[in-house]
Structure 1
């Protein structure tokens, strides 16, 4: 097999030999390290779908940490390894050595724990994409470049493109899929984020939904509650009482949330896991950014996603969001 890389990646001699002799049918054990929260787990799903296509006979183990087990893609893997970060050093070391020996290791995390696991795990070949290139030479046989300016789900696929694999586009997440002709006239708003500074204030969200209900009267405007007690939609009750097309959707579990988003016309939110789930269901999204680099969470292989942000990083105003929202709805759903 040819190593499909020129100047865009790292390849040592062992990695080159492995690629040249690679027979995907002979790869039986793969370890994928992904230690991340809800949104980044969503971004890993196309990689796991395509990994199974490249290595159809492999047993795939996903390694994570105890705090990041929500939204694990159990339907796409064979086994979960949880790296123990608590307890005595002997217990943590035993957890590090637990995975055993693998044919292939992919480090999709680039954290101190993932690097340590990559170091101590025995594997014929190790692939990673560290921000600091020194770790390529220290830990990996094959390395790809990492970027803040491309959708991360696509960057992960570069691990397989180096083997000459052609991923499916639009990306396949193996989740319920949005179909524009069947979408309900429903705009969903998710006003929360794991880091509160990444989301607009409650007052800003209330003003946005209040004006959107008037500006887009043909849509039901639904505020989606989050998992935490403080992620309640009670702050919108006054506005919901004044508009027949405004309501609050109480918390949904993950199995119900994916089809709910897929059946909606649009999701409006900041940089959140829920927005990443909407991306994974191919539901149109309007992302509001002012802290996070938007390009890493903004797929361009589909025209149904838009981002509103200012070059100087200031917080977008309600008028900015409504104007972009109107343009996107017109582009997607006008007859």
Structure 2
């Protein structure tokens, strides 16, 4: 249901203080808020990487406040409460509207209410504190759509459901310094994911890359260097490893120059899509529901229907159950052939077909 616009809004605070993929899923809602209040200043309450990456970048965010460690808000670690001096500095900004699109609200809704905004809006799981305007927080619901529901509470209207991200001249310069000029027809492979259970085996990424008659770059963070090198070592053709040598801006510029990105469900997959590059990605079914591509015209998810741990049988769909300790892949039922089918089809649709 569309909510009424809030009168006299000049300053908006939005809480979304997590990783790159999480931020990108929220971009359509941020754009909807900016469209509803074009004269207002939109401040993202985020973390250090948000400030570094978004400052000066065209988009709906006008400025970023870097939050200190706060449990359930800017860190997963327990024991960090929001210092009163932080809340006081935020109150001094005189926010007219404070929006919570960070989670179910157990920790974040009390924090949002401490900011002193005239109107608060956001998500609310059972038992969480109410805001002035709120929508429920069910477990299985696409994140982008739930954030757009929050924006709608205060008059925000979507103009597209997939995130968009501007690549800047500084991003291109970073890419040129670290990588040089990307070759034509480049395909990127990204074998990492924060949760090991979401990782497709490196040998399968290598097999897919070998079957492309194209230059291949294998990307990852510094912590994912072993995965990157594992794909390169398993390939029979040469590939270029890029592990920890590019920041987010340089990685965005690299993906923008690729014909296709093949990945797990991870932030870089969202980054590639946001800069306009087609993607093929391996998804565990629950993550597909909450964070998969909404449009499949240029983005093709391959779905693993595994719902229990391959080792002990613990449920993966009971989100309130304790996580079992096993980190084996839950997505190995996705075949190389099914991935290659989508790779071929997308490259053909995009007019970028190679030989495989």
Q: Same fold (TM over 0.5)?
A: yes
Are 1:248 and 2:241 counterparts?
A: yes
Q: Which has the higher helix share?
A: 1
Match of 1:12 in 2: none
In 1, Cα distance between the equivalents of 2:193 and 2:81? 36
Structure 1: tracts of 5 or more residues without a match: 6-18, 178-182
TM-score (norm 1): 0.76
Partner of 2:275: 281
Equivalent in the alignment of 2:216: 221
- Structure 2: tracts of 5 or more residues without a match: 71-78, 169-182, 311-329, 352-356
Moved more, 299-308 or 325-334: 325-334
Secondary structure at the counterpart of residue 293 of structure 1: helix
Identify the match of residue 19 of structure 2 among 20, 26, 37. Answer: 37
Q: Distance in 2 between matches of 1:82 and 1:61?
A: 10
Contact 1:269–1:275 (8 Å) recurs in 2: yes
- Pairwise mapping of residues 1-335 of structure 1 onto structure 2 (< 5 A)? 4=2, 19=4, 22-23=6-7, 26-65=8-47, 71-72=53-54, 75=57, 76-85=60-69, 92-100=83-91, 101-110=94-103, 112-132=106-126, 134-135=127-128, 138-147=129-138, 149-169=140-160, 171=162, 173-176=164-167, 184-200=184-200, 204-205=201-202, 207-217=203-213, 219-228=214-223, 230=225, 233-240=228-235, 242-244=236-238, 246-250=239-243, 251-290=245-284, 292-313=286-307, 315-317=330-332, 320-334=335-349
Query: What secondary structure does 1:129 align onto?
Result: strand
**Closer/same/farther in 2, CA of residues 239 and 174 from structure 1, 3 Å limit:** closer
Which deviates the most, 153-162 or 62-71?
62-71
| Aligned counterpart, 1:14 | none
Structure 1 residue 324: deviation in Å? Answer: 2.9
Aligned-partner SS, 1:257: helix
Describe the SS at the equivalent of 1:116.
helix
